[in-house]
Amino acid sequence: MSDNRPLRWFLYGYLALVFTFVFAPILFSVIFSFNSDRFPTIPLGSFTLKWYQTVWNDPDVWEAARTSLTVSPKSHLRSVHPILRRLHPC
């Protein structure tokens, strides 16, 4: 079992496939953010930063970001507290 080379390489390949599955959505959301077409289809259009500019200049996005930043520390505090307690048992 320990010296089975083909099996070992098969397992490494399999692991790579699983990681592909996990990271594919993250990867493609990055790729399509630079795509010039309005709708995400293959083949890709040209490289563009247009969408980044649009989002940057959109006041709604800033408002939403502010909301997220106000809400997340509160839920963070709540979820981290038990962990802190474990790190410093008293």
Partner 1 sequence: MSDSTPAKAASSAARQSSVFKLTFRLPIIIWQSLFFIGPLCFMVAMSFFIVRNYRMQEDFVMKNWLKMLGRDYFWDSYFLTWGLAGIGTVVTMLVAFPAAYTLAFKVSETVRRWAIFMLIIPFFTSYLVRIFSWYVILAESGVINAGLSYLGLGPFVMLNTKFGTVVGYMTLTLPLVIILQTFALANIDKSLVEAAFNLGCRPFRTIYRVILPMARTGLIIAAVFCFILSFGDFVSPYYLGGSKPPTLPILIVDTVKSGQQWPRAAVVAVVMMVTLFVVAFAGIMAAYRRRFG
Site residues (vs partner 1, CB under 8 A): 1-2, 4, 7-8, 11-12, 14-15, 18-19, 21-26, 28-29, 32, 40-43, 78, 81-82, 85, 90
User: 3-state class of 4 per DSSP?
Assistant: coil
**Shortest distance, position 7 Cβ to partner 1, whole Å:** 8
**Shortest distance, position 42 Cβ to partner 1, whole Å:** 3
Q: Distance between the two ends of the chain, CA-based, in angstroms? A: 46
User: 3-state class of 47 per DSSP?
Assistant: strand
Return the number of the residue (44 or 49) whose C-beta is nearest partner 1. Answer: 44
Which residues, 6+ apart, have CB-to-CB distance to 55 below 8 Å? 61
